[in-house]
Each structure stands twice: as C-alpha cells, then as structure tokens.
Chain A
Amino acid sequence: MSAVTEDSGKSTDGFASRKVFILAAIGSAVGLGNIWRFPYVAYEGGGGAFIIPYLVAIFVAGLPFLYLDYAMGHRYRGSAPLSFRRMSKGAEGIGWWQVLVCAVIGVYYAAIIAWAARYTIFSFGKSWGDDPEKFFGGDFLQAAADPGPTMDFVPGLLIPLIVVWVLVLGILALGVQEGIGRTAIILMPLLLVAFGALVIFALFLDGAPKGLDALFSPDWGALKNTDVWVAAFGQIFFSLSVGFGVMITYASYVNRKTDMTGSGAVVAFSNSGFELLAGIGVFSALGFMAQASGVAVDEVVASGIGLAFVAFPAIINEAPGGALIGVLFFGSLVVAGVTSLVSVIEVVIAGFQDKFNLSRRAATAMVGGPMAVVSVLLFSTTGALTVLDTVDKWINTFGILAVAVVSMLIVAHVAKKLPVLADSLNRVSSIRLGTVWRVVIGFVAPLALIYLLFTELKGLIEEPYGGYPQGLLITFGWAVVIVIPLLAFALASLPWRDKSMTDDVEDVTAEEEVR
C-alpha cells in the first residue's frame, strides 16, 4: 500500500507510479494554448529573440511556481481547499477560489474541444468549402447577429458537446489511476506521434522555410520592450497550468517519496518542448499558406480560434494531403484538450469530495452534472462564441492571475510556510529549493504577475473587449470574476463533513528521516 493511500484521508486512490503522475501532469499542461497560442506569442515577441525572455520566464516564474503547487499538494495531501485549510485555517477560501475558477474554465473549454472534434470529421471532406471563415461563423456556429447568450440551440454544437461531457465525466468517475492515469498513458504518446507526424508533414510543404524564417528571425530590439517580457511570463504561466489548483491536486496523488522537483523539471520542459514543436509545425503551415496566396507571412499569421477554425481549414484546402493534415491537427487539439479538461474538472471534483466526504462517483455526478448543464445551455447555442470569448478573457486575467498572486502572497507572507514547503520537497527531491526559490515566490513572481494583471486591466478599461456591448462584458466578465471569490469564502465557511480531515497531516518523510 502506498503512502498516498494511507494518509490522504480519502479513498484509496492515487497515481500508481511517478511515470503516470508525470504523464498526467504533462497532459494537463499541454493544452490548446501550446498549439494555438505559443507560436503567435513567440512570433510577435521578437521571433528568435523571444527564446531569451521565454527561458528567463521558465526559470524565474514557471519552475518555481510549479514547485510551489507541488509542495502544497505533496505536503498537505489534499484537494486545493483541503491543502490550504491544512496549511492555515483561514486560507481555505483560496482553495475554493481555485476550484471555482476551474469550474468556469471547464464549462467553456469543453465547448472548444467539441468544436475541434467536429472539425476533425469535417477535415475528411473539407466540409467548410471555399470560405472557411464564413462557414465557421455561419453554417457551423450559426452565430447570432448580436453578441450575447441566446436560447437558440444548434444541433451541430449540442451533440458533440454532450459527447465530450459524457466522455470526460466517464474518465473522471473511474478514479485517479484508472481514469486520469490511464487516459494519460494512452493519450500522451498518441499526441506526440500525431502531432509529430503533422510537423514532419508541414515541414515538407512548399513555403515552410518562409514560415520558419518569420518565426525564428530574431528582432533583438524587441527585448527592450517590456510587453515582450510580460508576454513571455504570461505564456509560461498560462501554459504550465500553475496557480489554480491543478498541480496541487495532482501532486496530492503522488507517493510521498517521489522526486517532485526532478519530475517538475521534466513536466515543464516537456510542456515547452511541445510548444516549440507546435511553433515549427504551425509556422511551416502558415509559410505554405503565404506562398500559395502570394503574400507575406505576416498577412496570414493568426492565433487561437482564428488560427484553428479559419486559417487551418484554408491551409487544408490548398495543401497536398490536406485531409490528413486536418485530421492530425484537429485530432491533436482534441487529445491535448481532453487531458487538460480532465485535470481542470478534477480540481473541482476533489474539492467537493474532500469537503463533503463524498464517494468518487457521487462527487463526479454532483459536480460534473451541473457543469455539463451550464456548459450545454451557454455553448451549444447561437450565442456561444461571444460568451465564450468574454468568459475566457476575464477568467484568465482576473480568475487565474488574481488567485495565483493572492495565493503566493498569502503562503509566503501571511502563513509564512515557504520554509516548511521547501523542506518537505527537499527531503525527497533532486533539485533543492533554497533562498532563491523563496525570493522568487515571495517577491519576483508575484510582482511580475501583478504587473501583468495591471497591464491587462488597463487594456480592458481603455476599450471594451472585442467591441462587445458593456452588458455582455459585465455579466459574463466582471460579474463572474467578482462572484467567484465571494462564493469561495462562503463555501469555506461551511462545516466539513468529517472534521478530522482538516487536521494537518504528519510529515511522513520527516519522521522517517528521524528514525
């Protein structure tokens, strides 16, 4: 019986080995952002010169923050709310804040996966026709003329979304090892093979060197621009899935003696390694598109939904073997997305399971059911895209970023637990956390993230996001991010079903060292 099962205080479930944990953590970190966000951010941020701020961000923010999350889960052995509660009685609300941020993300992330799944099938027959942009907004989303939610359901969005929810909740109901672990063991190698094949295919397209030239030509002047550094920190931060409970939850499922910092380095560089691969693949394809249309690469560059659902279908239309490129590209989005979605929803399930002492299946049903219903109501209608875009923007900025900053400051300066957390990891880990780590988590990383937060805030105040009406931005932007922390502290004030759970767990590794 592993240490995980003895002292986690809940059901006898945890990852069977370190390898499974690492694969699941990579599965969580590698998501849509690696594929459709990184290439654009790197291109905009100085091309080849971007590697410098990017590497600095990995070492100054990414790895230290990942280790903080790992230390929380590894030391306190619980879901986000339970770990924070065990750290300090008043801090439980931060865990719930993370849980609710994850709940909101899960609700819309599922919709994007459903769209990508649909496009995987469309790829076979290039069903989007000659004008992919018109097809996406028109035939596919049937987007309403006015931005905002509607009650007009689109069957083509509804059915795949339901399928995604059934699949993901099915995985989660199976448990940590049998569900999450097994999914990662199967899907991570599959993703590497499928995406690797896509990149190799893209490299042989006419014009690929032109695209790579655009991505890697260094603009050293960009390094003097603060925005580029902010973008590098932002990319690492969002891409690594740190700061909102996922890595705390996963780390709580690992055997106590696992080398956490050594594992974390593998996770962080696998995540970045995949991003680099995505940059090469995406820009090779964009270079082909530029060449085929006789324009410069900067005229075809795109990111996010525009890259996936408009630019890629156009590339697939023109490229030799386009259908194969489409299946590999959209299939990779689905696979990368599913493993990330699973991790985000697990944060919510684990939180409720601990607090209300529920069985795995009961927690999955209690949490997943309502999330699926909200997801379907909002994102299988003609209003899906504008609502999704708004929620995504606000939850990333004032959900993830805000809770990350607050949690770091409280752990470091209010609870003053950094030495305890560092000790807990240092006893079992190969990369030791010392003064540098404490300075980074206590000062450097929070300051960088606060700067990022204010830059975003300024932008959103200066002009309405996406040109959307204020009503939409208030309801699905501001209201969501304001209600979440309030609700979080309300949840924290509810009594624990099993009060003994909130006692701090013994630091088993410390005991063994004494013996």
Chain B
Amino acid sequence: MSGAAIVMMLVAMLAIWGALVVALLNLRRSDHSASE
C-alpha cells in the first residue's frame, strides 16, 4: 500500500469509527444528565 493510501485509510477509520464512539459517549452522557 502506498503511504497516501495508508494515511487515508486511517483518516477514514478515525473519522467514521471515531464519530461512532463520540455518538455513543454522547448518548451515555445524556442518560446521566437526564437522570440527575
């Protein structure tokens, strides 16, 4: 794989799977604030 391809693969993984993790954390946080 070329360097550019590796970088873009990591960018895509970080952006999309990272966003999923952030979305899950946000949902968990909103649970906590709702129950307070």
Q: Which residues of A contact B (CB under 8 A)?
A: 47-49, 51, 55, 209-210, 212-213, 215-218, 257, 259, 262-263, 265-266, 268-270, 272-273, 276, 280, 429-431
Residues from chain B with a CB closer than 8 A to the CB of A268 are: 23
- A47 to B9 Cα, complex, angstroms: 10
**17 interchain pairs, CB-CB under 8 A:** A48-B5, A48-B8, A209-B1, A212-B1, A212-B9, A213-B5, A215-B9, A216-B12, A218-B4, A218-B8, A259-B34, A262-B26, A266-B24, A272-B16, A273-B16, A430-B26, A430-B33
Nearest CB to that of B27 among chain A residues? A262
Q: Which residues of B (1-36) have their CB < 8 Å from a CB of A?
A: 1-2, 4-9, 11-13, 15-17, 19-20, 23-24, 26-27, 29-31, 33-34
Known A270-B20, A272-B16; contact A263-B8, beta-carbon cutoff 8 A: no
Task: Specify which of B4, B13, B23, B33 lies most central, judged by the most chain A CB atoms within 10 Å of its CB.
Answer: B23
Nearest CB to that of A430 among chain B residues? B30
Residues from chain B with a CB closer than 8 A to the CB of A212 are: 1, 5, 9
Known A269-B23, A430-B30; contact A55-B15, beta-carbon cutoff 8 A: yes
Residues from chain A with a CB closer than 8 A to the CB of B5 are: 47-48, 212-213, 215-218
Please state if B12 and A262 are interface contacts (CB–CB under 8 Å): no
Q: What is the minimal beta-carbon distance from B29 to any residue of chain A, in angstroms?
A: 7
Please state if A49 and B8 are interface contacts (CB–CB under 8 Å): yes
Residues from chain B with a CB closer than 8 A to the CB of A215 are: 5, 9
Nearest CB to that of A208 among chain B residues? B1
Known A212-B5, A273-B20; contact A263-B27, beta-carbon cutoff 8 A: yes
Residues from chain A with a CB closer than 8 A to the CB of B15 are: 51, 55
Nearest CB to that of B12 among chain A residues? A51
Please state if B8 and A259 are interface contacts (CB–CB under 8 Å): no
Please state if A269 and B20 are interface contacts (CB–CB under 8 Å): yes
Q: What is the minimal beta-carbon distance from B18 to any residue of chain A, in angstroms?
A: 9
Nearest CB to that of A209 among chain B residues? B1
Residues from chain B with a CB closer than 8 A to the CB of A273 are: 16-17, 20
Q: What is the minimal beta-carbon distance from A86 to any residue of chain B, in angstroms?
A: 27
Please state if B26 and A217 are interface contacts (CB–CB under 8 Å): no
Nearest CB to that of A270 among chain B residues? B20
Task: Choose among A55, A210, A213, A265 the residue that contacts B26 (Cβ–Cβ < 8 A).
Answer: A265
Q: What is the minimal beta-carbon distance from B27 to any residue of chain A, in angstroms?
A: 4
Q: What is the minimal beta-carbon distance from B30 to any residue of chain A, in angstroms?
A: 4
Residues from chain A with a CB closer than 8 A to the CB of B34 are: 257, 259
Residues from chain A with a CB closer than 8 A to the CB of B6 are: 216
Known A259-B34, A276-B17; contact A216-B26, beta-carbon cutoff 8 A: no
Task: Choose among A217, A257, A430 the residue that contacts B27 (Cβ–Cβ < 8 A).
Answer: A430
Task: Choose among A47, A210, A257, A266 the residue that contacts B8 (Cβ–Cβ < 8 A).
Answer: A47
Task: Specify which of B6, B8, B26, B33 lies most central, judged by the most chain A CB atoms within 10 Å of its CB.
Answer: B8
- A232 to B16 Cα, complex, angstroms: 15
Please state if A216 and B8 are interface contacts (CB–CB under 8 Å): yes
Residues from chain B with a CB closer than 8 A to the CB of A210 are: 1
